[in-house]
Structure 1
Amino acid sequence: MSHPTEPPRLKRALGLTGLTLFGVTYMTVITVFTTYGIVNQVTDGHLPAAYTLAVIAMLFTAASYAAMVRRYPVAGSAYTYTQQSFGGAAGFLTGWVMLLDYLFIPMINFMLIGIYLNTQFPAIPVWVFTLVALLLVLLFNILGITLVNKLNFAIIGLSVLLVVVFVALAFKTAFGGDTAVSLIEPFTFGEGGIGAIASGAAILALSFLGFDAVSTLSEEAKNPRKDIPRAIILSTLTGGLLFILVAWAGGLAFQPEWSTLSAGEIEAAGVTVMDVLGGETFTAFFVAIYVVGAFGSGMTGQVSVSRILYAMGRDGMLPKPLARLGRRFGTPIVAAVTVSVFALSALFLSLEAVAFMISFGALAAFAMVNLSVIRTYLFPKGGRRQPITVRAVLAYGVAPLIGFALTIWLWTSLQPATWLVGAIWLAIGAGIIAIVTGGFKRPVPKMDFSEGEPSTEQIDALGEKYPLLGDRA
């Protein structure tokens, strides 16, 4: 008797340790050097204090992501959670702000490639390296080449080695001389006070982008409803502690007058500190690893955002040509070119401005996830079916409210110019909603940011099958 062949399924092989390591790997520790000089300048050398504040804020937000994953144990995002909690319009605007975030992520990688390569080849202008990186990523995107992705594990391994050597050299430099070193001073507020530390922590939000990526492994986890929420918290805590360690070690060994450095020296501060600690050879190794990693990140980031634009064009939220695929390679050429044209602004924007914009989008999304927890668990659609317990109020009311308050505090600490650009972007998003819905007369179409999103009916069925207010997972 023959049996029908079952469709292939993802293997549930990942436990808590594997899921946590995935999240930590996604938040590569070398990210510290992306904004190393910028945040040190903003905080007057108190980068560890800024990271400490950022970690505290991110842990509350990570707890909110974990709560939403328990409610919707499928691949999701801030867009999905907001849409299911507050409706299509709020979900679209959250996704729209996230799109701004996605558009700037490839750009910052192109900029960093130019900045760091220029330190090794000063005769070649920064913009030349930036433009070449942009064009190469566009070419690979159109051709559908994903070779760089296969190098990710090697890049990660070398990055970890780099960080270990960096910390060892930093401690040797800090404690090897006759000058007394204050272990606590980098964690103080300094002359700028808590306001300067908050501004620095707001920029550092981009260091934590991707901790929620653990949620995409729901179908490959052995116990997704239990282990994925825990892995989100643990990866955020582990990654944050590593960020603090690297920032602290660097601060002990290298403490220049940040306010006196030029813009170029600030942007390439990672190279400067490497040169001080390990000399030219170590610096060259750092630049090589960083540039290769930035190129891979830029390419995967551009691939992701071009697919988002493609999906939005296909769904009618943006012009239809964005949904056009190339006949030969089957890739969204128009969307890819659009992202590259947007990224050309990297030739005249500053690294600081781009970092602020990425953090603007990230913090906006984090704020909405915190609110989504309160809406979903304490004030669900259709009314409550169970009485509110003290545990539920603390876990799904107080904790996300603190996370929301901290996120908004950091959000408002960004530069005024960032808010102006963000407000314009939101206004454009609202205009798109008005056009697509015929003046808000029709429902807002859904934007699908992943192929694994469930339907509303599936989500409702999950909610009925797994009521979470009494869940002890």
Structure 2
Amino acid sequence: MTSTTEGTETTEAPDRLVPRLGLLSLVVFGLSYMAPAIVVSTFGVIATTSAGVAPTAYVVATVAMTLTALSYGKLARDHPASGSVYTYARKLLGSRIGFLAGWALLLDYLFLPMVAWLIQALYLHVQFPALPTWGWLVVVIVVTTFVNALGIVLADRVNKVLLGLTALGLLAFVVVCVHTLGGASAADGAHALWNPAASVGTVTAAAAIAAYSFLGFDAISTLSEEVREPRRDVPRGILLTVIVGGGIFFLISLLLQWVHPGAVFDDESTAGYEVAVLAGGKGFANVMNAITLIGGMASCVAIQASTSRLMYVMGRDGVLPRRAFGRLHGRLRTPLFNLLLIAVIGLMATRLSLETATSFINFGAFLAFTLVNVCVIAAWLRHRRTGTRRSVLAHVVLPVLGAAADVYLLTKLNHTAVLLGLGWLVIGVAYLCVLTRGLRREPPEFHAEASPT
């Protein structure tokens, strides 16, 4: 049996993901992936880099990511499949470039769960030191894998609960900060947005760091085949996630910067905790740490889910071994092998530094974002040749600006990140040559009687 309807519930088939999600679930998934409370954890680094105007850096990052989000939305509407940029590039730039796009995205998605689990384990160990970091790592991996293995509906419910608790914690933070500010003048708030020490250079450099907090909005596109009305809800979900997430980042960073003006901290890596103590005392700061842990758990669930879907689509196409990666569990209807493989890889997290793993992630993410914008321009050219007119502003100018922003962010990565990323691409090219017998044939692709809609 195959998918037969457009925008409605489809007939379930053993090789198909089941469409059960709506717009709210997509936004919750995207925000859970981004982990809004991360703004507290990264505040010190961004405030220091921007010379004390962290909220302005978040505004610039939000604008840059919105440009790419708009491109994702256009492509998700035209190609409602779960492969994200892998699918888009394959359809619009050719199967070989599509493979390399998926390979680059796999670099991002494969290491994201590892980093998320390791950060979660480190925070849990600090909060509850009775269990060593590796012990907490095992606990977090087992819990998130169990939730994801049971299906996207359970993962969605868990994310809604955890994100709700995170939202309550951030609301409490807003209330405490506003109370602390008391009779502070508007001029003090304006100083948090711009001051004599800040410059375009400091703000854009900080925006490049702040953009990392948005990684995950694109993961919504990996759920396209599990959405009831993907052509409508996936584009909306992607854009809403960036706008809502950017709004949260801006508001919280503004209050943090207002409570603690300037960019001088005892330790920039724990500046968020320092400001929380200043605003509400040590007890309140510890509560905020707990909220960060809750949000981090939701992020772990979302990250592992999206990674397993990308691997599933690449396996279904045959560019990864189909018998392993391209199969769903008969009863659970989830890519169980992929989930377990990601969990096993995650167990190696303690042997890899956060800096190295993050370098992999950032290179893959920004390269994929750039290709998404290029895909929109390619789609515009294709429609123009067939006589279909599409807006030059929406399909050329904005994607060009989005690609330029993504390339700029890519250039802000350190040399290690670039070298590691290029090394991964070299491996991908070598694998592609083997897969296509020296590029003499097309990479394999999944075909069904009817495309998922």
TM-score by length of 2: 0.79
SS at structure 1 position matched to 2:441? coil
Give yes or no for contact 1:203–1:355 (8 Å, CA) kept in 2.
Answer: no
- CA drift of 1:375 comes to 0.6
Cα RMSD (Å): 4.2
Task: Give me the whole-angstrom Cα distance separating, in 2, the residues matched to 1:341 and 1:291.
Answer: 22
Which letter does structure 2 place at the counterpart of 1:105? Answer: L
Measure, in 2, the Cα distance between the counterparts of 1:324 and 1:86.
Answer: 23
What is the 5 A alignment of 1:267-282? 268-282=270-284
Partner of 1:81: 88
- CA gap of 1:81–1:347, structure 2 versus 1, over 3 A, is same
Cross-structure match for 2:6: none
Deviation per residue, 1:59-103 (Å, 9 max, x gap): 211221222234335555122111111011111111111111112
**Hey, what does 1:287 align to over in structure 2?**
289
Measured after TM superposition, the shift of residue 160 of structure 1 is 1.2
Structure 1 Cα separation of the partners of residues 50 and 191 of structure 2:
12
Deviations 1:233-262 (A, max 9, x none): 34422321221111111111135755752x
Q: Distance in 2 between matches of 1:45 and 1:345?
A: 37
Deviations 1:93-137 (A, max 9, x none): 111111111122212222322332344345765x34553345535
Relative to structure 1, is the Cα distance of residues 59 and 323 closer, same or farther in structure 2, using a 3 angstrom cutoff? closer
For residues 103 and 68 of structure 1, the distance between their equivalents in structure 2, rounded to whole angstroms, comes to 23
1:60 matched to 2:63: no
Q: Deviations over 1:37-60 (max 9, x none)?
A: 443343344321221111111121
Q: Which residue of 1 aligns with 2:5?
A: none
Task: Supply the AA of the counterpart residue of 1:411.
Answer: L
Contact 2:51 2:198 in 1 (8 A): yes
Distance 1:50 1:142, change over 3 A: closer
Alignment of 1:372-411 (within 5 A): 372-380=375-383, 384-386=385-387, 392-411=391-410
Contiguous gaps of at least 5 residues in structure 2: 1-8, 13-17
8 A contact 2:83–2:310 mirrored in 1:
no
Comparing 290-299 with 51-60, greater Cα deviation is found at: 290-299
Q: Give me the whole-angstrom Cα distance separating, in 1, the residues matched to 2:450 and 2:127.
A: 56
Task: Give secondary structure in 1 for the equivalent of 2:188.
Answer: coil
In structure 2, which of residues 243, 246, 249 is the aligned counterpart of residue 240 of structure 1? 246
| Distance 1:124-1:458 versus aligned 2 partners, 3 A rule | closer
Following TM superposition, by how much is the alpha carbon of 1:397 offset from its aligned partner in structure 2, in angstroms? 1.3
CA positional deviation for 1:159: 1.1
Alpha-carbon distance change, 115 to 182 in structure 1, aligned in 2, over 3 angstroms: farther
CA distance in structure 1 between the partners assigned to 2:148 and 2:231 by the alignment:
38
> TM-score normalised to the size of structure 1?
0.76
- Classify 1:13/1:310 alpha carbon distance in 2 versus 1 (closer, same or farther; 3 Å): closer
CA distance in 2, matches of 1:377, 1:159: 40
Separation in structure 2 between the aligned mates of residue 316 and residue 220 of structure 1, nearest angstrom: 24
* 1:418 counterpart residue number: 417
* Bigger Cα Rg: 1
Moved more, 269-278 or 399-408: 269-278
For residue 190 of structure 2, the aligned residue among 184, 187, 196 is: 184
1:211 counterpart (195, 206, 217): 217
In 1, Cα distance between equivalents of 2:427 and 2:158 = 38
Q: CA 1:51 to 1:356, structure 2 compared with 1: closer, same or farther past 3 Å?
A: farther
After TM superposition, the structure 1 = structure 2 runs for residues 63-462 of structure 1, keeping only pairs within 5 Å, are 63-73=70-80, 75=82, 77-121=84-128, 127-128=133-134, 130-133=136-139, 136-137=142-143, 140=146, 150-176=157-183, 182-188=188-194, 191=197, 193-212=199-218, 216=223, 229-230=235-236, 232-255=238-261, 258=264, 261=267, 266=269, 268-306=270-308, 308-309=310-311, 312=314, 316-318=318-320, 322-323=324-325, 335-336=338-339, 338-344=341-347, 346-380=349-383, 384-386=385-387, 392-446=391-445
Helix, strand or coil for the counterpart of 2:189?
Answer: coil
